[in-house]
Amino acid sequence: MTVFMVGIKGTGMTSLALYLSRNEDVVYGWDTDEVFPTDELLQRHSISCSSSTQLFSFTRSIDILIHSSAYDETHPLIREAGQNGIPIYSYHEYLGRLTEKCDSYGIAGTHGKTTACGCIDTLLTVKHIPHSAIYGSSLIGQPEESSIFSPDKFILESCEYKKHFLSYRLKGLLITNIEWEHVDYYEDFEAVISAFIQRVEMLPISSFVVINNDDTGAKKIIRWIRETRDDLTLLTYGKEEKSDIVYSYPYHDDLNRFEIVNTGRIFPVSLTGDHFVSDIVASAIFSQLICNGHVPDMNQLDAFFGSVSRFKGCSGRLERIDHPQFILYRDYAHHPSEIASSLASLRALYPQKRFHIIFIPHTIGRTVALFDRFVEVLTGYDSVFILPVAASARFRDSHEVSVRESERLAAAVKGKAAYSEEHLQNMLKTILHQNDVCVTMGAGNTLPIIESIMKIKGHK
């Protein structure tokens, strides 16, 4: 089958492109000329990408077209495909088709989905369990070819945006946490909770749910399942002592170890921070249930916990970027809770260092709705730089509005507004010193910012 993908450079779309390629489909697609971190992955797998908007300027025939949720039928390539009778699917619609053909397991939650998917992918690979996984990143320190590919067992990052996760037919669900997010679609927190209840309602009898008992939103779902779906296998995890699987972290102030309180066993972990360890514990539980026919087994679970240190993290999720002069990180955090969690991890790692935060807000709606929380989590660092709110294909706000909101946020956190990569670079030259911590944060394309920072202090 020949597949054409519109918006192929998006992280989820690239992950799907690699899946289709490994499944021996012919894959190519369209995206803008802007360089994204996914360009390298596509090139490595010989998946071509063009910026031409004339569909039949491409030499290959097309069996189906899949498009990112950032685009719709108004895009010229999608419109042309429709006019020529080519079947068209959105990203989440096509994933829904895949889940109908195999045993599929979803990872949902406002935050931590990608990290949990990456950890589950790693654990199943370590245990030699054939599977496939589609999520919005790639593994650090491990080529994606290393997993034992199978189209029969499917691990899927399941996003609540516009209730897309309702498109998937799942046999198991992991919920990491629930907060008010995607504020342009969900009017309030209760609307998000309602969507997650709908997702759980759709699970067939004898499915399983693994869910975070430390999270306020997730507790609402736990209560609903106990009252309504006693046919489901429910396993809760958390530091909360009433959880089914209780963990303690850090273990005696050791940031690289955690304890499973149920058994008193201590395990090493490669990532630092409460949010990472929470997602990793959840991933081990979820992986064990996938492998053991949905039946909890503490002895088998110990083996999974013992392998979690093999997971080194996902690209763009508090990812260390090599620089000879200072400590540089790239992070996807774009919600206040994510920012707070990531910065807490860095503070734990570098308690005595100077911190410089570079934040690219993502969508005007989120910036305005959660403004006070952004101010709270970004205040108190040595320097904070706010760039214009990132342009999004989903939300096309004017540049003037983007600049205005970034200036308003910068003023509130007593930081500085940066208007371009070059402007930011010039300001950082006099501020960054050896061994300082510098972190870029945002859901937009931060690669140009990273490249600009890499030129500072003589590094090229």
Is residue 167 over pLDDT 80? yes
* First and final C-alpha spacing in the chain: 42
- Phi, then psi, of 269 in degrees rounded to 5: -140, 145
400 CB neighbour count, 10 Å cutoff = 9
Pick from 14-23, 30-39, 201-210, 451-460: least confident: 451-460
Q: Which residues pair with 385 in a beta bridge?
A: 358, 416
pLDDT number for residue 412: 97
With bands split at pLDDT 50, 70 and 90, how would you rate the model's confidence at 398? confident
Average per-residue pLDDT for the chain:
93
CB 235 within 8 A of CB 209: yes
CB 291 within 8 A of CB 326: no
With bands split at pLDDT 50, 70 and 90, how would you rate the model's confidence at 230? very high
Mean pLDDT of 292-308: 91
Q: Hey, what are 109's tokens? A: 């939650």
| 30: nearest Cα among 58, 47, 66, 5 | 5
| 207: nearest Cα among 180, 190, 225 | 225
Q: Is 100-310 assigned to CATH 3.40.630.10? A: no
pLDDT number for residue 149: 82
Model confidence over 366-389: pLDDT tens digits?
A: 999 999 999 999 999 999 999 999
Mean pLDDT of 297-323: 94
Parts of the chain belonging to CATH 3.90.190.20: 319-458
Q: HSE on the CB side for 100, CA within 13 Å?
A: 8
Is residue 394 over pLDDT 70? no
Q: Hey, what are 142's tokens? A: 């491990």
DSSP 3-state of 278 = helix
Name which residue leads in pLDDT, 293 or 46.
46
d(CA 278, CA 247): 9
| Residue with token string 């620089």 | 323
Mean pLDDT of 65-78: 93
Is residue 63 over pLDDT 70? yes
pLDDT number for residue 359: 97
pLDDT number for residue 269: 98
How does DSSP classify residue 251? B
* Percent of the chain clearing pLDDT 90 (strictly above): 82
Instruction: Print burial letters for 243-267: b (CB count within 10 Å at least 16), e (below 16).
Output: bebbbebbbeeebebbbbeeeeeeb
DSSP 3-state of 379 = coil
With bands split at pLDDT 50, 70 and 90, how would you rate the model's confidence at 455? confident
Q: Hey, what are 402's tokens? A: 């983007």
Model confidence over 266-296: pLDDT tens digits?
A: 999 999 999 999 999 999 999 999 998 888 8
pLDDT number for residue 391: 65
CATH architecture of 2-91: 3-Layer(aba) Sandwich (3.40)
Is residue 145 over pLDDT 60? no
CATH classification for the domain delimited by 319-458, as one of 3.40.50.150, 3.30.565.10, 3.40.50.720, 3.90.190.20: 3.90.190.20
* Percent of the chain clearing pLDDT 70 (strictly above): 95
Q: Hey, what are 434's tokens? A: 């050896």
Parts of the chain belonging to CATH 3.40.50.720: 2-91
pLDDT number for residue 295: 85
pLDDT number for residue 349: 96
| Residue with token string 């630092």 | 272
Model confidence over 400-438: pLDDT tens digits?
A: 889 999 999 999 999 999 998 889 999 999 899 999 999
Pick from 55-64, 281-290, 305-314, 434-443: least confident: 55-64
pLDDT number for residue 150: 83
224 CB neighbour count, 10 Å cutoff = 15
Model confidence over 313-366: pLDDT tens digits?
A: 999 999 999 988 899 999 999 999 999 999 999 999 999 999 999 999 999 999
Pick from 250-259, 378-387, 439-448: least confident: 439-448
Mean pLDDT of 152-168: 96
Parts of the chain belonging to CATH 3.40.1190.10: 100-310
d(CA 420, CA 168): 40
With bands split at pLDDT 50, 70 and 90, how would you rate the model's confidence at 458? low
